[in-house]
Amino acid sequence: MLFENQLTDFRFYILLVLVPLLIAGIAYGLIFIFFFISRRFSPSLIAESVEGKKIIVTGASSGLGKSTAKLLAQFGANVILIARGQDSDANGKSRLDYAVEEVKACAKDPEKQIIEGFKLDLKDREKIFLEIPSLLTKYNGIDWVILSHGFSSPGEFLNQSIQDAEATIAGKETIMENLINSNLLGSIRITEAFFSSCQKLKMEFPERIIFVASVLATVSFSGYIGYCASKYGLRGFVDGLRNELIPYKTKIHLYLPGNMDTPMFRNENKIKPACTFEIEGPSKALHPDECARCMIMGALRDRYYITNDVVSEMLRNASQGFNKRTNVVFEVLASPISAIVDEVFIRDADNVVAKFYDKEKNKQAKKND
- What one-character DSSP code corresponds to residue 220? -
How far apart are the two ends of the chain, measured CA to CA in Å?
71
Residue range 41-92, pLDDT digits in tens: 899 999 999 999 999 999 999 999 999 999 999 999 999 999 998 888 888 8
CB 218 within 8 Å of CB 314: no
CB 2 within 8 Å of CB 261: no
CB 234 within 8 Å of CB 116: no
Q: Give the Cα separation of 28 and 362 in Å (integer).
A: 43
DSSP E strand boundaries for the chain: 54-58, 78-83, 115-119, 144-147, 208-212, 251-255, 305-306
Average pLDDT over residues 5-20: 62
What percent of the residues of the chain are helix, what percent strand, and what percent coil, each to the nearest 5?
Answer: 60, 10, 30
Write out the CATH class of domain 39-361.
Answer: alpha beta
In this model, does residue 16 exceed pLDDT 70? no
Would you place residue 1 in the very low, low, confident or very high pLDDT band (cuts 50, 70, 90)?
Answer: very low
pLDDT computed for residue 137 by the predictor:
96
Distances (CA, A) of 35 to 209, 229, 286, 306, 330: 21, 27, 16, 9, 12
pLDDT computed for residue 220 by the predictor:
93
Average pLDDT over residues 104-121: 95
Query: Would you list the domain boundaries of the chain?
Result: 39-361
Residue range 310-323, pLDDT digits in tens: 888 888 888 887 77
